[in-house]
Amino acid sequence: MNKPGTHTGFGMTSQRTRTRMIERLREQGIVDEEVLAAIAAVPRHVFVEEALASRAYEDTALPLGYSQTISQPYVVARMIEALRAGRELGRTLEVGAGCGYQAAVLAQLTKEVYAVERIAPLLDRARLNLRAIKELKVRLKHADGQLGLPEAAPFDSIIVAAAAARVPRALLQQLAPHGRLILPLGAATQQLALIEFRPEGFVETRLDAVRFVPLLSGVE
């Protein structure tokens, strides 16, 4: 297991490699330059196992252990871009902090980031990783993500890094008026769903096909 913050500059973790990743995201259709700048600012290799650091800037999900993965950069960019679209993120909740990577990207874009993770050893790793890059704005909690984080609600933006069969009711209840929630829905076939809390109620828009680990209840 890697010691957070100890990776050194392999060729594959160089600035040139990181720049290529951003160029690839542009080619794939990501147009929000602030999202691209946020992803460019976060050293993804710090958040993966040392043995996988040479693959950190490939556009692929990578294993974290505990049957979890770090999301591929395109999916991170796509979800955050959809949440932002024409507005600021505001107070943001991430469900499924994992290794802390996506929370670090979110923290480049808003001052209030809360992240919950149900697997205690992963939460500890996220805390160490965020400390290693001196990202101290993210507030982490060991909790069941399906229940959200009621003590910090309401949220302007909620991003879920695991697939649910249906939108957890608790997350809808914690969404602020005019807020947005994005998550993968489905089992064998999954699709990103963007839910907006409009004056007339919740409005859902389906986006890209994706593949995420399932959203589970309880804590470990």
User: Quick one: pLDDT at residue 74?
Assistant: 94
User: Quick one: pLDDT at residue 8?
Assistant: 42
Q: What share of the chain is helix, strand, coil (3-state, %, to 5)?
A: 35, 30, 35
Higher pLDDT, 112 or 18: 112
Instruction: Choose, from 14, 71, 157, 217, the residue flagged as catalytic.
Output: 71
Q: What is the pTM of this model?
A: 0.90
Instruction: Tell me which of 5-9, 51-55, 158-162 is least confident.
Output: 5-9
* Mean pLDDT, rounded, for 95-101: 94
- DSSP state letters, 36-63: HHHHHHS-GGGGS-GGGGGGTTSSS-EE
pLDDT band for 1, please (50, 70, 90 cuts): very low
CATH architecture for segment(s) 9-207: 3-Layer(aba) Sandwich (3.40)
Locate the domains of the chain by residue range: 9-207
Instruction: Tell me which of 18-22, 50-54, 109-113, 140-144 is least confident.
Output: 50-54
* Mean pLDDT, rounded, for 180-188: 94
User: Quick one: pLDDT at residue 80?
Assistant: 98
pLDDT band for 13, please (50, 70, 90 cuts): low
Q: Which helix (H) or strand (E) holds 73?
A: helix 73-84
pLDDT band for 9, please (50, 70, 90 cuts): very low
pLDDT tens profile 57-93: 887 888 887 878 888 999 999 999 999 999 999 999 9
Instruction: Tell me which of 147-151, 188-192, 203-207, 212-216 is least confident.
Output: 212-216
* 71 given a catalytic annotation: yes
Higher pLDDT, 69 or 166: 166
- pLDDT reading at 193 higher than 50: yes
pLDDT tens profile 32-43: 999 999 999 999
User: Quick one: pLDDT at residue 91?
Assistant: 98
- DSSP state letters, 89-152: --SEEEE--TTSHHHHHHHTT-S-EEEEES-HHHHHHHHHHHHHTT---EEEEE--GGG--GGG
Taking the alpha carbons at both ends of the chain, their separation in whole angstroms is 19
Q: What is the DSSP secondary structure assignment for residue 219, as one 8-state letter?
A: -
- pLDDT reading at 156 higher than 70: yes
